[in-house]
Chains A and B, each alone.
Chain A
Amino acid sequence: MINITNLSKSFGKLSVLENLDLEIKEGGIFAILGPNGSGKTTLIKCLLGMVIPDKGTISINDKSILKKWDYRNELNYLPQIANFPANLSVNELIDMVKDLRPKTANETELIAHFGLEPFLKKKLGHLSGGTKQKVNIVLTFMFDSQLIILDEPTTGLDPVSLIHLKELIRREKEKGKTILITSHIMSFVDDTADEIVFLLDGKIYFKGSVSQLKERTKETNLENAIAKLITE
């Protein structure tokens, strides 16, 4: 599905990604983990075309995506901080994103799923962080795309919504989609991820299933396993 070879990116003197190679197969949930500054967000942004790599190639379904934009129609992205134009109402934002993408959307079900109906006419500037994040999730999942990228999806969510989110991710997975997630909430990763990609200093330090990771570090808890991985 995704094929990254020899990817490098540095910001000024700071090298963030160094000759990174990564292959992600179609279908399943991949958690991209790593300490702060390990290059997770940069990697995702390279995939999205928001960060332009110094060298290397990225292809999705065997097509290079560098300097392209139309491939993003087959990709749903949930940004880390949900900050929308304060003047728009939720409805208007949803309509706008629908307008910007040629795909058809099924937002009604998702709005019901997260109980957003009472907020539809409210201005985004007046919403709480959690509600904004729910809107963010609706915007991401309302299109039917093969690749879904979630950057810290749990931010600000209450436990009930968190359950709704997990449910949503599980359903998408069952449809055979490829889902990339970055998160600092290890229990969430433990619950959802099929495979873990662990980044450290711009390189892939570990790639494999959760059980493989636990086996390797001889820890039963994912959080401890990760901590051990870093200090190794």
Chain B
Amino acid sequence: MLKILKYSIYDLLRSRWSYVYFLFYLLLGFVLLFLNNDVNKAVITLMNVIIVLTPLIGTIFGIMYFYNSKEFTELLLAQPIKRSNIFMGQYVGISLSLTLSLVLGLGIPFIVYGLFRSAAIFDFTLLLVVASFLNFIFVALAYNIALSTENKIKGFGYAILMWLFLAVVYDGLFLISLIAFNDYPLGKFSLIATMFNPIDLSRILILLKLDFSALLGYTGAVFKEFFGTAFGMVMSMLVLSLWVILPVLNINRKLRKKDF
């Protein structure tokens, strides 16, 4: 698996898109910091971008890489390598190279700006951790879709729909149900609904460190008790990990039956 991982990363690092992605974040980081001069605000704006963009890019990269390297994958499948190792290698390769682009692209401007002297370093670190999680989650979800859809165009469509659902539609439904059942205590519902969407969960994790603490009192007590504690933080990280582990397990399950 490590060999495949090595070659996948090697392959991706030479791809133009990795650099475009890297440069995008680099530019974003510099623009936000040096036009704003306010690290906290930069972190908030970055969160807005990351929450939406990282899943989208992860999904697109994942699905594209799968379909584009189909023949190459077949070449590998004929080699004496375990199936799951091939795909896990590729999966980790994409996720890692995306994470690398993101961490370096955002890290460099922040270091240049003097992040280490700023109190925002913890918020920023959390932002990067959450963004990395989102990379791993959405590449895994994209692989799930790709593995069950032979047709490239269809697969791509499903992947975008999945992103659209988790990034926008889900929150819309969430909001509508909150408004519709306004008279009932909705703390637990909100908590569970948040857990079921990695984008929401990531958003709340970051918000907790930013402006959300001021608002936390306004949400139900359940929510406050959960997210206000170290236990909540650990649980959230755990759930994010589950969001990686379960799709990865499903990839392996699908691989056992998949024909190429």
Contact = CB atoms under 8 A, between A and B. Distances in A.
Nearest to A77: B78
A50 B80 contact: no
Contacts of B257: 52
Interface string B76-97: 1111111100000000000000
B259 A100 contact: no
Main secondary structure of the interface of B (DSSP, over half): helix
Interface string A82-94: 1111011000000
A51 interface: yes
A100 B10 CA distance: 15
B72 A70 contact: no
Given A71-B80, A101-B79, A87 B72 contact: no
Contacts, number: 65
A83 B71 contact: yes
B81 A100 contact: yes
B3 A99 contact: yes
Query: How many A residues touch the partner, as a band?
Result: 20 to 34
Interface residues of B, number: 25
A180 interface: no
Contacts of B70: 83
B259 A52 contact: yes
Contacts of B184: none
Given A84-B71, A96-B7, A11 B80 contact: no
A137 B216 CA distance: 65
Given A50-B259, A51-B259, A79 B78 contact: yes
Give the top 6 A-B pairs by smallest Cβ distance, nearest first.
A83-B71, A73-B80, A77-B78, A72-B80, A51-B259, A87-B14
